[in-house]
Structure 1
Amino acid sequence: MASAEPVWPRYVGNYLLGRKLGSGVSGSTFQATHVHTGMVVALKLQPLSISYATNDYERVVYPLIQGGEGMPTLWAHGRIGQWDYLAMDLLGASLQGLLREADTPTMDMRSVISIAVQLITRLEFMHSRGILHRDVQLGNSVIGLPPNETLLYMIDFGFSEKYVNSKGKHIRNRQQPDFIGNYWFSSVNVHCRGKTTSRRDDLESLALVLIHILTPGGLPWTRNGVPRDDAEHDRLKRCKRDYRPEDLCDGLPEEFAAFLHYCRGLQFSAQPDYPRWRERFLELGKSLGYGDVRPFIWPPPPVKNNPTVQVKRTHTPVPNGDMEQILQGLAQMDLQGSAGRPKESTPAPIPPIPVTAAVPAPAAPPAQAAEAAVPSQPTAGRPILGQKDLNAAPPAASQRPAGRSAAKKAREVIDISSDSSTEVPLPVGRNTKAARLMRLTRQCELAVDNRQLAGLVNEFLAILGTGTSRTLTKEGFSFLDALYKQLADPSIFIVPLRTSQRRSARAPAPARQEVTNEERRSRMSNLRASVAYALSNRQLARLVADFGTLTDKAGKKLTKDSFVFLEGVGSRLTALSGAA
């Protein structure tokens, strides 16, 4: 049973209490006026009998952060009768209140970038004083009152603590018996793994806050409310742990996923590179046409001639690892209910799921339409889910994989061109994939506008998706070379993007740099997010060059992000052709 609301006093010391500004489990905050000076403050009041007296922690923190930009001033504190109080600067609405009053599913991009810039600076200052906030959330960041209405303040230091000991050494990373923090925005290490909070965790909480207010409906694990029991709490933690940054940031500028990746990649005692990320968000604001985003302006000012930035995801993405299993199950469903009908022993691989593009994709190219007209035959390509030929004869014994090991090899070995020694023979009258890719490359070299290039990119995607391979070989790289040449400058002769196999004498092979899997995934995710914001062919050319180099370093393996990137290139070319 919830405890009854205390009977709050009218006066506390020299302060006359006014309207209540807010309340929590540890007390309430009131607008209060000093009876002698007339100064109006925010007065945080707690009963002395409360079990978790956060005022005791805050009165230790405030002297360490006094004078910092965006840090409230503590004017008075003490205990009178049965009350413990803190008298602080009176400030404006919280970010949570602004978002609620705006009555929009997300906050505008300029405001979010401004929040990123300012709160990175606030956390940098707190950390420079040896203090962790440990409760970064929308309700704990507020705007100032005039003349400081464009300044964001950090408040509520009841969970704050020092991360350096009395000798100036960093605290140790220990397993924590209890979770202290916010369900929604606490980091994965702290919330899901029970680790000690450090500077990296404050920044990860900020990253989650930014993504939350840019996502319709908020972060996926926030949508069922506060967990009511251990089972719900475990599901929430599992959901938070399983989501990849690139899935959470689908449709957002690359900086957001990159920032979250960076925070999660920091070592426990590492000092974050605050200037780097502050500058990166400032540059993002400039690139989107917002100019100087350092002042937080509310309501947000209108921005002219600015590319629309939207979250393209309109559904909750499935956590990492679950989608593949779901689709594999769907692909193997016996939709006809024919128990006696022979089943294929090798389930076909699942192609990547396309992400809704910012502009409509062009119509299916002629080659793709021609393939659709070919009568159903056993091929290496994956059939459309649910589309089965009832009249098709069972596969001959010679066409079936020889046992489970052969089926496994058929799933693992995936090739696009004649470099593959496991190329599946195509029906008579149809060209091999290698020949189709070579023909596509020649057409790309002769293309004269972006609309033609867009159609060729989409045909390239169609060819990649019809086989059992997700390895990009020489014909695929040749197409990327031709595409890069056309985008960068049709008059120049470019160096191939493929670096690890035979190269012509026209250019030396660059030194191959080792890239970790985590770095590769992050960079490919950034490419996927960046393509929607390319404003010219030359910008697309740079992205295609980076894509080719990264794919080559990844052993030429194509991932889901690879397919989404190529789809984005085609969509962006279509958009640029209309704007020309």
Structure 2
Amino acid sequence: MAADYGRKHPQRIENWWLGECLGSGFSGAIYKATHLFTHQTVALKLQDKDEACPTNRYERYFYPILQGGLGMPRLWGSGVDGRWDWLAIDLLGNSLDRIFRLSGKNVMDLRSVCCLAQQIVRFSLALPASPYTIDVNYVKIARLEFMHDRGLLHRDIQLGNCVVGLPPNQETVYMIDFGFSKQYIDPSTRRHIPESNKPRDFLGNYYFTSVNVHCRGKVPSRRDDLEAVGLMLIHLLTPGGLSWIRNGVPKTDIAHNRLKREKQRATPEDLCRGLPSEFEEFLRYCRRLKFAERPDYERWIDEFKELAVSRGYPASDAFVWPPPVNEPTVHVERHPRPSLQVRVDNQELENAVGALANLALSPRQVLGQRDVNEVTPPRPADGEIKKKKTQADRSLDGVIVISDDENELYVPPGGVRLHKAAHLSLLARKVPDTTDNAALSKLVLEFWQVLSSNRSRALTKEGFAFLDALYKQLTDPSVYVVPMRTSRTRGHTNENPVVLDRQAKMSELFKLRIDVGRASSNAVLAKMVADFGNVIDRSNGRTVTKDALGFLEGLAGRLRALQ
């Protein structure tokens, strides 16, 4: 039927004059249309009112619910004119599918994919046109979180249904096509729809619809919209795309069943091999969610933002296309020193070499082994006058100086604040070089400050790297330690690891918080750090609770007491 739209459409629909045909589908077509009196230009969705799949009728009901959200098109009018059911919505730019195809690239760049992840899931503000009036009604949650908080599921997330805006909104991604959307909150009871095992017809797209909905016939919920986003992002980063997409839309039931089997067999580990681990974790997280559980949108916004920053990209989520040349935001030296040519005469050089020869260089001492590593300094040269110790010199007796600035908090040049990922990575790198409990205590306290001050309470890979290094340093720095974060790509094939429920997690963290103050040695503290990491790793969302922060604060205090 779609093939007939281009020949049978009228030139005018009510007050709209139809122009260029922008596209057509199995149930209708979209035209660029201009209002005869206001000259406003819109995208007009045209559909036969007797169409077997009347998506316009459904969208007309859903658009008022979605009005005001950033990245949601505005509905300017709708109605029925003769045999034609029409919707007038914002005229937007190219879809992600068209953008990707026109690029001619095998994969999309990581920065663009991270921007898409943040925009499709993220919390945003839609500000009024006037800069002098700010109404609380303009504070909106965008894209999926906005839809879900309005009680709607999209159910057809794909590259063709994500489009960019026209200038000046060309860096904003919009969600479109709500013909398959559905309310998951019952309007009469205000309760979540029930889960059901009854056989149901498949509704969605073959490529990115979740495994539960597409392959197992489950009722869709918020988790399935998020899984579709995850598969779409992985597809953009995979050379040649997801394997079940490469043969196109299946034409027969046999081909469709083959596609479903391939899609169901593909594990997150296989799909994300060679990709940053955040994508595997995101897919696993979506598949662990319970049917009626609300996803932690904010956590994954932060995860993808930190991933972009850790790779040297800006923290902005603006979708810039074509992608700009990568200019890392983290520089080794913000203000390079000018090159100076200093002339040194032979006498000065001889004096400097002599001073170096008389330096007393002794090995660095190791925690708890001062008597073993103590080295007698060389005798002073004959005739050298021994200086008397000042009060300040005597106060330093017995103190192990590790380095001049090792225990100082890191302050980047120009006062630039470190992002969470960069800060935790820096702390993890400092731990192996720290050989006394007082210095370890300061690092743990700084680790606690980063987690408690950050908006996202998820313990990321950098946080687990710090715990791994701390455990290793408290036990034996020469022994290799198996990392605590088990879900990363290390050959684990168990897609559904044992997850602690909320009550068990709280109970174990509370016990650790109480017991840490009674730890008798570094070995006991090391075991507690390992238990702490395992509890967080096995919990849903890997969030750091108040008891977890209390344990870290108590750990820092106990390290000071045991020095």
Rounded Cα–Cα distance in structure 2 between residues aligned with 1:15 and 1:107: 38
* Residue 255 (1) aligns with residue 256 (2): no
**After the TM superposition, which residues 410-559 of structure 1 pair with which residues of structure 2 at under 5 Å, given as runs?**
489=432, 492=435, 520-522=486-488, 524=490
Task: Give the match for residue 298 of structure 2.
Answer: 275
CA offset digits 1:93-134 (Å, max 9, x no partner):
100011011110011111100000000131000000000000
Structure 1 residues 525 and 167: CA distance shift in structure 2, 3 A: farther
Task: Give the match for residue 327 of structure 1.
Answer: none
Residues 254 and 525 of structure 1 are in contact (CA less than 8 Å); yes or no, is this contact kept in structure 2? no
Task: Give the match for residue 16 of structure 1.
Answer: 17
Q: What amino acid is the match of 1:37? A: T
SS in 1 for 2:64: helix
Structure 1 residues 491 and 118: CA distance shift in structure 2, 3 A: closer
SS in 2 for 1:112: helix
Q: What amino acid is the match of 2:296? A: D
Residues 235 and 242 of structure 2 are in contact (CA less than 8 Å); yes or no, is this contact kept in structure 1? yes
Structure 1 residues 139 and 274: CA distance shift in structure 2, 3 A: same
CA offset digits 1:380-425 (Å, max 9, x no partner):
xxxxxxxxxxxxxxxxxxxxxxxxxxxxxxxxxxxxxxxxxxxxxx
Rounded Cα–Cα distance in structure 1 between residues aligned with 2:181 and 2:251: 26
Task: Give the match for residue 516 of structure 2.
Answer: none
Specify which of 143, 156, 167 is matched with residue 146 of structure 1.
167
Rounded Cα–Cα distance in structure 1 between residues aligned with 2:240 and 2:217: 27
**After the TM superposition, which residues 47-66 of structure 1 pair with which residues of structure 2 at under 5 Å, given as runs?**
47-66=48-67
Structure 1 consecutive aligned stretches of length 4 or more whose deviation exceeds 2 Å: 1-6, 304-307, 485-495, 519-526
Q: What amino acid is the match of 2:247? A: N
Task: Give the match for residue 102 of structure 2.
Answer: 101
Q: What displacement does 1:49 show?
A: 2.2
Structure 1 residues 28 and 3: CA distance shift in structure 2, 3 A: closer
Structure 1 residues 231 and 306: CA distance shift in structure 2, 3 A: farther
Q: CA RMSD in A?
A: 3.4
Task: Give the match for residue 244 of structure 1.
Answer: 267
Q: What displacement does 1:247 show?
A: 1.1
Rounded Cα–Cα distance in structure 2 between residues aligned with 1:277 and 1:305: 22
**After the TM superposition, which residues 114-133 of structure 1 pair with which residues of structure 2 at under 5 Å, given as runs?**
114-121=115-122, 122-133=143-154
* Residue 294 (1) aligns with residue 322 (2): no
Q: Percent identity?
A: 50
Task: Give the match for residue 200 of structure 1.
Answer: 223
Residues 113 and 293 of structure 1 are in contact (CA less than 8 Å); yes or no, is this contact kept in structure 2? no
Structure 1 residues 35 and 243: CA distance shift in structure 2, 3 A: same
Rounded Cα–Cα distance in structure 2 between residues aligned with 1:236 and 1:293: 37
Task: Give the match for residue 213 of structure 1.
Answer: 236
Gap runs ≥5 in structure 2: 123-142, 331-427, 441-464, 466-470, 477-482, 493-525, 536-563
Rounded Cα–Cα distance in structure 1 between residues aligned with 2:224 and 2:429: 45
Residues 288 and 306 of structure 1 are in contact (CA less than 8 Å); yes or no, is this contact kept in structure 2? no
TM-score normalised by the chain length of structure 2: 0.57
Residues 136 and 205 of structure 1 are in contact (CA less than 8 Å); yes or no, is this contact kept in structure 2? yes
Rounded Cα–Cα distance in structure 2 between residues aligned with 1:253 and 1:43: 40
SS in 2 for 1:293: coil
Q: What displacement does 1:549 show?
A: 6.5
CA offset digits 1:10-37 (Å, max 9, x no partner):
1001001111111101100000000100
Q: What displacement does 1:293 show?
A: 3.0
Q: What amino acid is the match of 2:19? A: G
Q: What displacement does 1:276 show?
A: 0.5
Q: What displacement does 1:492 show?
A: 4.2
Task: Give the match for residue 233 of structure 1.
Answer: 256
Task: Give the match for residue 44 of structure 2.
Answer: 43
Residues 285 and 293 of structure 1 are in contact (CA less than 8 Å); yes or no, is this contact kept in structure 2? no
Rounded Cα–Cα distance in structure 2 between residues aligned with 1:21 and 1:274: 33
Residues 91 and 145 of structure 1 are in contact (CA less than 8 Å); yes or no, is this contact kept in structure 2? yes
Rounded Cα–Cα distance in structure 1 between residues aligned with 2:290 and 2:22: 39
Q: What displacement does 1:298 show?
A: 1.0
Rounded Cα–Cα distance in structure 2 between residues aligned with 1:243 and 1:117: 25
Gap runs ≥5 in structure 1: 308-484, 498-502, 509-514, 527-544, 555-580
Q: What displacement does 1:4 show?
A: 4.3
**After the TM superposition, which residues 286-325 of structure 1 pair with which residues of structure 2 at under 5 Å, given as runs?**
286-305=309-328
Structure 1 residues 84 and 525: CA distance shift in structure 2, 3 A: farther
Q: What amino acid is the match of 1:304? A: E
SS in 1 for 2:163: strand
Rounded Cα–Cα distance in structure 1 between residues aligned with 2:9 and 2:114: 40
Task: Give the match for residue 359 of structure 1.
Answer: none
Task: Give the match for residue 190 of structure 1.
Answer: 213
Specify which of 233, 246, 250 is matched with residue 223 of structure 1.
246
Residues 162 and 173 of structure 2 are in contact (CA less than 8 Å); yes or no, is this contact kept in structure 1? yes
Q: What displacement does 1:214 show?
A: 0.7
SS in 1 for 2:286: helix
- Structure number with greater Rg is 2
Task: Give the match for residue 68 of structure 2.
Answer: 67
SS in 1 for 2:201: coil
Rounded Cα–Cα distance in structure 2 between residues aligned with 1:238 and 1:227: 13
Structure 1 residues 47 and 250: CA distance shift in structure 2, 3 A: same
SS in 2 for 1:263: helix
Rounded Cα–Cα distance in structure 1 between residues aligned with 2:51 and 2:115: 37
Rounded Cα–Cα distance in structure 1 between residues aligned with 2:475 and 2:307: 35
Residues 281 and 487 of structure 2 are in contact (CA less than 8 Å); yes or no, is this contact kept in structure 1? no
Structure 1 residues 203 and 525: CA distance shift in structure 2, 3 A: farther
Residues 114 and 295 of structure 1 are in contact (CA less than 8 Å); yes or no, is this contact kept in structure 2? yes
Q: What amino acid is the match of 2:317? A: R
